[in-house]
Amino acid sequence: MPRVAPGARPTMRRWSVVVGGLAVAGILAILLLYAVIRTDLPERVASHWGTDGVDATQTPRAFVTSLVLLEGGIVAFLGMLSAALPVEARRILGATAGGLTGLFVVGIGGSLYAQRGLTDPYAAQDVGGWIALGLAAGVVLAGLIAWLLPTHIPAANDALLSPIPARSRATGDITPIAGSAASASDEDATVPDGSSREGAAYGLPWSAPVPAGTGGYVVIGLLALLAVGLAATPARWVAAPVILAVGLLVFAMTRCRVLIDAEGVRVRGFGITWLRVQAPTISSAEASTARPMAEFGGYGLRYSLHGRGFVTTSGPALRLRIPHGTDTWISVREEDLPGALAAVRQITEP
Protein backbone atom coordinates (compact mmCIF):
# COMPACT_ATOMS: atom_id res chain seq x y z
CA MET A 1 0.00 0.00 0.00
CA PRO A 2 1.42 3.44 -0.91
CA ARG A 3 2.33 5.86 1.84
CA VAL A 4 -0.18 8.69 2.12
CA ALA A 5 0.69 12.06 3.63
CA PRO A 6 -1.33 13.16 6.68
CA GLY A 7 -4.01 15.53 5.46
CA ALA A 8 -4.34 13.94 2.02
CA ARG A 9 -7.96 13.21 1.17
CA PRO A 10 -10.09 11.28 0.67
CA THR A 11 -8.93 8.83 3.32
CA MET A 12 -9.72 5.14 2.92
CA ARG A 13 -11.91 5.38 6.02
CA ARG A 14 -14.10 7.99 4.35
CA TRP A 15 -14.04 6.02 1.08
CA SER A 16 -15.21 2.89 2.91
CA VAL A 17 -18.00 4.73 4.74
CA VAL A 18 -19.32 6.57 1.67
CA VAL A 19 -18.85 3.97 -1.06
CA GLY A 20 -19.24 0.92 1.13
CA GLY A 21 -22.33 2.41 2.75
CA LEU A 22 -23.92 2.99 -0.65
CA ALA A 23 -23.07 -0.56 -1.74
CA VAL A 24 -24.64 -2.01 1.42
CA ALA A 25 -27.74 0.12 0.85
CA GLY A 26 -27.91 -1.17 -2.72
CA ILE A 27 -27.64 -4.79 -1.61
CA LEU A 28 -30.35 -4.27 1.00
CA ALA A 29 -32.58 -2.71 -1.67
CA ILE A 30 -32.11 -5.76 -3.91
CA LEU A 31 -32.90 -8.15 -1.05
CA LEU A 32 -35.96 -6.12 -0.08
CA LEU A 33 -37.21 -6.14 -3.66
CA TYR A 34 -36.80 -9.91 -3.83
CA ALA A 35 -38.64 -10.40 -0.52
CA VAL A 36 -41.58 -8.33 -1.78
CA ILE A 37 -42.01 -9.89 -5.25
CA ARG A 38 -40.66 -13.44 -4.89
CA THR A 39 -44.15 -15.02 -4.74
CA ASP A 40 -45.02 -13.36 -8.06
CA LEU A 41 -41.95 -14.65 -9.90
CA PRO A 42 -41.82 -17.80 -12.05
CA GLU A 43 -39.79 -20.83 -10.94
CA ARG A 44 -37.00 -19.68 -13.23
CA VAL A 45 -36.35 -16.13 -14.39
CA ALA A 46 -34.53 -14.75 -17.41
CA SER A 47 -30.94 -13.88 -16.53
CA HIS A 48 -29.36 -13.16 -19.91
CA TRP A 49 -30.51 -11.86 -23.26
CA GLY A 50 -28.85 -12.62 -26.59
CA THR A 51 -29.52 -11.58 -30.18
CA ASP A 52 -32.71 -13.70 -30.27
CA GLY A 53 -34.00 -12.80 -26.82
CA VAL A 54 -33.62 -14.73 -23.57
CA ASP A 55 -30.89 -17.35 -23.77
CA ALA A 56 -30.23 -18.19 -20.09
CA THR A 57 -32.34 -18.61 -16.95
CA GLN A 58 -31.81 -19.04 -13.21
CA THR A 59 -33.92 -19.60 -10.17
CA PRO A 60 -34.94 -16.29 -8.58
CA ARG A 61 -32.79 -17.05 -5.52
CA ALA A 62 -29.73 -17.82 -7.66
CA PHE A 63 -30.35 -14.65 -9.70
CA VAL A 64 -30.46 -12.46 -6.58
CA THR A 65 -27.49 -14.22 -4.99
CA SER A 66 -25.41 -13.73 -8.14
CA LEU A 67 -26.38 -10.05 -8.31
CA VAL A 68 -25.50 -9.42 -4.66
CA LEU A 69 -22.16 -11.22 -4.94
CA LEU A 70 -21.35 -9.38 -8.17
CA GLU A 71 -22.05 -5.95 -6.70
CA GLY A 72 -20.29 -6.67 -3.43
CA GLY A 73 -17.30 -8.24 -5.17
CA ILE A 74 -16.80 -5.40 -7.63
CA VAL A 75 -17.07 -2.71 -4.94
CA ALA A 76 -14.63 -4.64 -2.73
CA PHE A 77 -12.20 -4.94 -5.65
CA LEU A 78 -12.44 -1.21 -6.36
CA GLY A 79 -11.79 -0.60 -2.67
CA MET A 80 -8.59 -2.64 -2.82
CA LEU A 81 -7.52 -0.69 -5.91
CA SER A 82 -8.24 2.57 -4.11
CA ALA A 83 -5.96 1.51 -1.26
CA ALA A 84 -3.18 0.42 -3.62
CA LEU A 85 -3.26 3.24 -6.17
CA PRO A 86 -2.43 6.93 -5.62
CA VAL A 87 -4.81 8.86 -3.40
CA GLU A 88 -5.82 10.96 -6.41
CA ALA A 89 -7.48 7.86 -7.93
CA ARG A 90 -9.86 7.29 -5.03
CA ARG A 91 -12.45 9.80 -6.16
CA ILE A 92 -12.69 8.28 -9.65
CA LEU A 93 -12.83 4.72 -8.34
CA GLY A 94 -15.46 5.70 -5.78
CA ALA A 95 -17.59 7.33 -8.47
CA THR A 96 -17.20 4.20 -10.60
CA ALA A 97 -18.41 2.04 -7.71
CA GLY A 98 -21.38 4.34 -7.17
CA GLY A 99 -22.29 4.23 -10.84
CA LEU A 100 -22.17 0.43 -10.91
CA THR A 101 -24.36 0.26 -7.80
CA GLY A 102 -27.01 2.32 -9.57
CA LEU A 103 -26.80 0.09 -12.63
CA PHE A 104 -27.09 -3.11 -10.59
CA VAL A 105 -29.95 -2.00 -8.36
CA VAL A 106 -32.10 -0.17 -10.91
CA GLY A 107 -31.05 -1.79 -14.19
CA ILE A 108 -30.59 -5.45 -13.29
CA GLY A 109 -32.92 -5.36 -10.30
CA GLY A 110 -35.54 -3.79 -12.57
CA SER A 111 -35.20 -6.66 -15.05
CA LEU A 112 -36.23 -9.01 -12.23
CA TYR A 113 -39.13 -6.76 -11.20
CA ALA A 114 -40.39 -6.77 -14.81
CA GLN A 115 -40.85 -10.58 -14.70
CA ARG A 116 -43.60 -10.53 -12.10
CA GLY A 117 -46.59 -12.62 -13.14
CA LEU A 118 -44.75 -14.52 -15.88
CA THR A 119 -44.96 -18.31 -16.15
CA ASP A 120 -42.44 -18.67 -19.00
CA PRO A 121 -39.10 -16.84 -18.47
CA TYR A 122 -38.45 -16.95 -22.22
CA ALA A 123 -41.40 -14.62 -22.65
CA ALA A 124 -39.63 -11.87 -20.70
CA GLN A 125 -39.55 -8.55 -22.49
CA ASP A 126 -36.44 -6.69 -23.65
CA VAL A 127 -34.76 -5.05 -20.64
CA GLY A 128 -33.22 -2.17 -22.57
CA GLY A 129 -35.48 0.34 -20.84
CA TRP A 130 -34.46 -0.85 -17.38
CA ILE A 131 -30.78 -0.79 -18.33
CA ALA A 132 -31.21 2.79 -19.55
CA LEU A 133 -32.79 3.75 -16.22
CA GLY A 134 -29.95 1.97 -14.42
CA LEU A 135 -27.36 3.94 -16.36
CA ALA A 136 -29.15 7.18 -15.53
CA ALA A 137 -29.25 6.24 -11.84
CA GLY A 138 -25.58 5.30 -12.07
CA VAL A 139 -24.67 8.73 -13.43
CA VAL A 140 -26.52 10.43 -10.57
CA LEU A 141 -24.89 8.24 -7.91
CA ALA A 142 -21.45 8.62 -9.48
CA GLY A 143 -21.83 12.39 -9.30
CA LEU A 144 -22.97 12.17 -5.67
CA ILE A 145 -19.97 10.03 -4.70
CA ALA A 146 -17.57 12.38 -6.52
CA TRP A 147 -19.06 15.29 -4.57
CA LEU A 148 -18.70 13.45 -1.27
CA LEU A 149 -15.07 12.47 -1.95
CA PRO A 150 -13.20 15.67 -2.83
CA THR A 151 -9.48 15.29 -3.40
CA HIS A 152 -7.03 17.36 -1.36
CA ILE A 153 -3.23 17.11 -1.52
CA PRO A 154 -1.18 19.11 1.06
CA ALA A 155 1.18 21.77 -0.22
CA ALA A 156 4.69 20.62 -1.11
CA ASN A 157 6.28 22.96 1.43
CA ASP A 158 3.94 22.08 4.30
CA ALA A 159 6.30 22.17 7.27
CA LEU A 160 3.91 20.15 9.44
CA LEU A 161 4.38 17.07 7.29
CA SER A 162 7.41 14.84 7.31
CA PRO A 163 8.95 14.33 3.89
CA ILE A 164 7.17 11.65 1.92
CA PRO A 165 9.43 9.74 -0.47
CA ALA A 166 8.33 9.48 -4.05
CA ARG A 167 5.99 6.52 -4.38
CA SER A 168 6.83 5.67 -7.93
CA ARG A 169 8.31 2.23 -8.43
CA ALA A 170 9.98 3.28 -11.62
CA THR A 171 11.54 6.65 -12.13
CA GLY A 172 11.76 6.62 -15.89
CA ASP A 173 14.70 8.03 -17.77
CA ILE A 174 15.36 11.49 -16.40
CA THR A 175 17.35 13.42 -18.93
CA PRO A 176 18.47 17.04 -18.69
CA ILE A 177 17.16 18.99 -21.64
CA ALA A 178 19.51 21.49 -23.18
CA GLY A 179 18.11 24.97 -22.90
CA SER A 180 15.68 24.09 -20.16
CA ALA A 181 17.01 26.94 -18.04
CA ALA A 182 17.06 30.49 -19.19
CA SER A 183 20.48 32.07 -19.54
CA ALA A 184 22.08 35.24 -20.83
CA SER A 185 23.05 33.43 -24.05
CA ASP A 186 19.46 32.81 -25.10
CA GLU A 187 17.85 36.12 -24.21
CA ASP A 188 16.24 36.49 -27.60
CA ALA A 189 15.11 32.92 -27.99
CA THR A 190 11.42 32.13 -28.14
CA VAL A 191 9.34 29.15 -27.13
CA PRO A 192 6.58 27.32 -28.98
CA ASP A 193 3.89 29.75 -27.89
CA GLY A 194 6.00 32.69 -29.00
CA SER A 195 6.74 34.20 -25.60
CA SER A 196 10.19 35.39 -24.59
CA ARG A 197 12.48 33.57 -22.20
CA GLU A 198 13.52 36.78 -20.54
CA GLY A 199 11.37 38.87 -18.23
CA ALA A 200 8.28 36.65 -18.05
CA ALA A 201 10.57 33.62 -18.57
CA TYR A 202 8.48 31.93 -21.26
CA GLY A 203 5.41 33.78 -20.14
CA LEU A 204 2.37 32.61 -18.24
CA PRO A 205 0.05 31.12 -19.10
CA TRP A 206 2.12 28.69 -21.14
CA SER A 207 0.39 26.18 -23.40
CA ALA A 208 1.30 23.48 -25.89
CA PRO A 209 -0.54 20.56 -27.54
CA VAL A 210 -0.28 17.08 -26.08
CA PRO A 211 1.04 14.73 -28.80
CA ALA A 212 -1.76 12.49 -30.08
CA GLY A 213 0.18 9.28 -30.68
CA THR A 214 -1.46 6.19 -32.20
CA GLY A 215 -2.69 4.30 -29.12
CA GLY A 216 -5.83 6.42 -28.78
CA TYR A 217 -6.85 5.81 -32.37
CA VAL A 218 -6.43 2.06 -31.95
CA VAL A 219 -8.72 2.15 -28.90
CA ILE A 220 -11.29 4.20 -30.83
CA GLY A 221 -11.26 1.61 -33.62
CA LEU A 222 -11.76 -1.26 -31.18
CA LEU A 223 -14.64 0.55 -29.47
CA ALA A 224 -16.28 1.20 -32.84
CA LEU A 225 -16.07 -2.50 -33.72
CA LEU A 226 -17.56 -3.41 -30.34
CA ALA A 227 -20.43 -0.98 -30.89
CA VAL A 228 -21.15 -2.53 -34.28
CA GLY A 229 -21.19 -6.00 -32.72
CA LEU A 230 -23.60 -4.91 -29.98
CA ALA A 231 -25.91 -3.32 -32.52
CA ALA A 232 -27.42 -6.79 -33.12
CA THR A 233 -28.24 -7.41 -29.44
CA PRO A 234 -31.33 -6.36 -27.45
CA ALA A 235 -29.16 -3.89 -25.53
CA ARG A 236 -28.21 -2.04 -28.72
CA TRP A 237 -30.13 1.13 -27.83
CA VAL A 238 -28.15 1.47 -24.62
CA ALA A 239 -24.81 -0.33 -25.00
CA ALA A 240 -23.90 0.91 -28.46
CA PRO A 241 -24.46 4.63 -27.70
CA VAL A 242 -22.56 4.30 -24.41
CA ILE A 243 -19.59 2.70 -26.15
CA LEU A 244 -19.65 5.34 -28.89
CA ALA A 245 -19.73 8.04 -26.20
CA VAL A 246 -16.66 6.47 -24.58
CA GLY A 247 -15.03 6.46 -28.01
CA LEU A 248 -15.71 10.18 -28.34
CA LEU A 249 -14.13 10.79 -24.94
CA VAL A 250 -11.05 8.84 -26.02
CA PHE A 251 -10.92 10.92 -29.20
CA ALA A 252 -11.14 14.08 -27.07
CA MET A 253 -8.06 12.90 -25.18
CA THR A 254 -6.12 12.91 -28.45
CA ARG A 255 -6.91 16.63 -28.94
CA CYS A 256 -5.73 18.10 -25.65
CA ARG A 257 -3.39 20.86 -24.58
CA VAL A 258 -1.30 21.21 -21.45
CA LEU A 259 -1.75 24.58 -19.75
CA ILE A 260 0.54 25.98 -17.07
CA ASP A 261 -0.45 29.13 -15.19
CA ALA A 262 -0.53 30.52 -11.67
CA GLU A 263 -3.15 27.97 -10.63
CA GLY A 264 -1.01 24.99 -11.60
CA VAL A 265 -0.82 22.49 -14.43
CA ARG A 266 -3.87 21.31 -16.34
CA VAL A 267 -4.61 19.15 -19.34
CA ARG A 268 -7.70 20.28 -21.21
CA GLY A 269 -9.51 19.30 -24.36
CA PHE A 270 -12.99 19.98 -25.77
CA GLY A 271 -13.87 21.92 -22.63
CA ILE A 272 -12.97 19.01 -20.32
CA THR A 273 -10.23 19.30 -17.72
CA TRP A 274 -8.75 15.81 -17.73
CA LEU A 275 -5.94 16.46 -15.27
CA ARG A 276 -5.37 19.19 -12.71
CA VAL A 277 -2.33 19.66 -10.47
CA GLN A 278 -2.47 22.62 -8.12
CA ALA A 279 0.65 24.77 -8.04
CA PRO A 280 1.28 24.59 -4.25
CA THR A 281 1.45 20.78 -4.37
CA ILE A 282 4.33 20.74 -6.89
CA SER A 283 7.91 20.81 -5.62
CA SER A 284 9.71 20.62 -8.98
CA ALA A 285 9.54 19.36 -12.55
CA GLU A 286 11.86 17.21 -14.63
CA ALA A 287 12.25 16.10 -18.20
CA SER A 288 11.46 12.39 -18.32
CA THR A 289 10.05 9.70 -20.57
CA ALA A 290 6.75 7.83 -20.44
CA ARG A 291 5.86 4.33 -21.63
CA PRO A 292 2.06 4.19 -21.49
CA MET A 293 1.51 0.44 -21.71
CA ALA A 294 4.49 -0.68 -19.64
CA GLU A 295 4.20 1.90 -16.85
CA PHE A 296 0.52 2.91 -16.83
CA GLY A 297 -1.33 0.04 -18.46
CA GLY A 298 -2.78 2.13 -21.27
CA TYR A 299 -3.19 5.54 -22.85
CA GLY A 300 -4.88 8.73 -21.72
CA LEU A 301 -5.57 9.61 -18.08
CA ARG A 302 -4.11 6.73 -16.07
CA TYR A 303 -3.45 5.75 -12.46
CA SER A 304 -1.05 2.95 -11.60
CA LEU A 305 1.47 1.84 -9.00
CA HIS A 306 3.98 3.79 -11.08
CA GLY A 307 2.11 7.06 -10.52
CA ARG A 308 -0.42 9.21 -12.32
CA GLY A 309 -0.19 10.26 -15.92
CA PHE A 310 -1.83 11.76 -18.94
CA VAL A 311 0.18 9.74 -21.41
CA THR A 312 -0.66 9.53 -25.09
CA THR A 313 2.53 8.23 -26.67
CA SER A 314 5.85 6.64 -25.76
CA GLY A 315 8.47 9.33 -25.51
CA PRO A 316 9.21 12.66 -23.82
CA ALA A 317 7.13 13.61 -20.80
CA LEU A 318 6.98 16.35 -18.20
CA ARG A 319 7.32 14.81 -14.74
CA LEU A 320 5.86 16.77 -11.84
CA ARG A 321 7.24 15.98 -8.40
CA ILE A 322 4.45 16.04 -5.81
CA PRO A 323 5.92 15.14 -2.40
CA HIS A 324 2.63 14.62 -0.54
CA GLY A 325 0.71 13.16 -3.47
CA THR A 326 1.89 11.14 -6.42
CA ASP A 327 4.32 12.09 -9.16
CA THR A 328 2.57 12.90 -12.42
CA TRP A 329 3.69 12.41 -16.02
CA ILE A 330 2.29 14.40 -18.96
CA SER A 331 3.23 13.57 -22.54
CA VAL A 332 4.70 16.57 -24.36
CA ARG A 333 6.63 17.10 -27.54
CA GLU A 334 10.39 17.21 -27.07
CA GLU A 335 10.61 20.74 -28.42
CA ASP A 336 8.06 21.88 -25.82
CA LEU A 337 9.86 20.48 -22.78
CA PRO A 338 12.12 23.53 -22.15
CA GLY A 339 9.12 25.85 -22.09
CA ALA A 340 7.14 23.53 -19.83
CA LEU A 341 10.01 23.22 -17.36
CA ALA A 342 10.57 26.97 -17.25
CA ALA A 343 6.84 27.62 -16.74
CA VAL A 344 6.66 25.15 -13.85
CA ARG A 345 9.68 26.82 -12.26
CA GLN A 346 7.82 30.10 -12.26
CA ILE A 347 4.92 28.71 -10.27
CA THR A 348 6.98 26.67 -7.83
CA GLU A 349 10.00 28.84 -7.03
CA PRO A 350 9.61 31.84 -4.70
Q: Classify residue 266 as exposed, middle or buried by CB count within 10 Å of its CB (0-12, 13-18, 19+).
A: buried
* pLDDT at site 344: 93
* pLDDT at site 238: 62
Where is the domain boundary, 123, 148, 173? 148
Per-residue tens of pLDDT for the chain, all 350 residues: 556 677 788 999 999 999 999 999 999 999 999 999 999 999 999 998 776 778 889 999 999 999 999 999 999 999 999 999 888 899 999 999 999 999 999 999 999 999 999 999 988 887 878 888 998 999 999 999 999 999 989 888 764 454 444 444 344 444 443 333 333 333 333 444 433 333 344 678 899 999 876 666 666 666 666 666 666 665 565 666 677 777 777 777 778 899 999 999 999 988 889 899 999 999 999 999 999 888 988 888 889 888 899 998 889 999 999 998 889 999 999 999 999 999 999 998 76
* pLDDT at site 29: 96
User: Does residue 284 lie within any of the structural domains?
Assistant: yes
- CATH number of the CATH domain containing 283: 2.30.29
Instruction: Supply the range of the domain harboring residue 191.
Output: 184-213+254-348
Number of structural domains (the chain) is 2
Q: Round to whole Å and give the CA distance between 231 and 309.
A: 33
User: Does residue 236 lie within any of the structural domains?
Assistant: no
User: Does residue 30 lie within any of the structural domains?
Assistant: yes
* pLDDT at site 170: 40
User: Does residue 45 lie within any of the structural domains?
Assistant: yes
104 and 23 part of one domain: yes
* pLDDT at site 66: 95
The distance from CA 179 to its chain's CA centroid, rounded to whole angstroms, is 35
97 and 192 part of one domain: no
SS3 track for 234-285:
CCHHHHHHHHHHHHHHHHHHCCCEEEEECCEEEEEECCEEEEEEEHHHCCEE
17 and 134 part of one domain: yes
* pLDDT at site 189: 39
User: Does residue 78 lie within any of the structural domains?
Assistant: yes
Is the distance from CB of 179 to CB of 338 less than 8 angstroms? yes
Contacts of 208 (CB under 8 A, 6+ apart): 192, 193, 257, 258, 332, 333, 336, 339, 340
Where is the domain boundary, 99, 126, 148? 148
